[in-house]
Amino acid sequence: NKQTRALTRYLKRMTKKLAEIGVTFKAPTGEEYHPGRRDFKMIHAREEEGATAVTIGECDLPAVMLNGQLIQQAQGVVIKPPDAPPD
């Protein structure tokens, strides 16, 4: 709808302006997960048939970087193969 398109355009402009001053966002969905990862906080983990590795399945909150430095961790759900060891 018209409001959704207007909001999307506004958010794109805002993201571009933030990037100009060094603020960037990263949603690491699909990337490998390991407990020592500094840029991602696991909120929940679930087993999923067909999963072949422990990965970030859903990112509910993106990581925020300021001039390349992490200022906020991403948060979300980790997907594990059924036979993966517990964290």
Helix then strand then coil, % of the chain, to nearest 5: 20, 40, 40
pTM of the model: 0.81
Over range 56-71, report the average pLDDT. Answer: 97
**How would residue 83 be classed by pLDDT, with cut points 50, 70 and 90?**
confident
- 74, two tokens: 């991403």
